[in-house]
Amino acid sequence: MEVLMPVPQIYVERTLAIIKPDVIDKEEEIEDLVLRSGFHIIQKRKLQLSPEQCSNFYAEQFGKVFFPNLTAYMSSGPIVAMVLARDCAVSYWKELLGPSNSLRARITHPHSLRALYGTDELRNGLHGSLSISSAEKEIRFIFPEAILEPVATGQRARDYLNLYVKPTLLAGLTALCKEKPADPM
């Protein structure tokens, strides 16, 4: 009896994570938690946004009561922005963050990042994209040089591997075999 194995597929999604000004001193600790949670940090940069840049970044929040305080808070000091990748990155990151109100997070999600590092609803320590489309938009805002192409799957992935990866591997392995090094590593 022949067992059919499912065709392996690559499921990689990206999301934006921001360590906000008031917890910037916990950067290494937070990064360690991020990595231990199965994320890969694809890009990272430390920067300080101007109030105008914060207004543009949080444009969807414009008109809400907390908007002026949010832009003042986010421009009050440096932030660390990271592009995180893994399968279902947006939903896993939101789950790891917990509720946006840190006080509520301490009650309902005591091990979440916002429960651990946030102080209130506004100063919740970290930012996370709400959806895949907002993640793409936010990543482009913070990392304008980022290339955000969809990850190929199915036949497109097999075509890419056959056209670009396999010939390179074959040439490299053939050259290595011809050399017959004593210690190939």
Cα three-residue angle 94-96-98, rounded to 5 degrees: 70
- Is the pLDDT confidence value at 11 over 70? no
- Is the pLDDT confidence value at 158 over 90? no
Round the average pLDDT of the chain to a whole number and report it: 89
Query: Active site residue: 40, 109, 111, 127, which one?
Result: 127
Q: What is the reported pLDDT for 185?
A: 67
Q: Could you report the per-residue pLDDT of 58-67, keeping only the tens digit for each?
A: 999 999 999 9
Between 29 and 156, name the one with better pLDDT: 29
- Is the pLDDT confidence value at 4 over 80? no
β-bridge mates for residue 14, sequence order: 85
Q: What is the reported pLDDT for 3?
A: 58
Angle separating helix axes 89-97 and 132-142, nearest 10 degrees: 80
- Is the pLDDT confidence value at 112 over 70? yes
Amino acid at 153: T
Among the residue ranges 66-80, 91-105, 170-184, the one predicted with the least confidence is 170-184
Between 25 and 156, name the one with better pLDDT: 25
Whether 127 sits among the annotated catalytic residues: the reply is yes
Among the residue ranges 71-75, 85-89, 119-123, 177-181, the one predicted with the least confidence is 177-181
On whether the CB atoms of residues 45 and 83 are closer than 8 A, the answer is: no
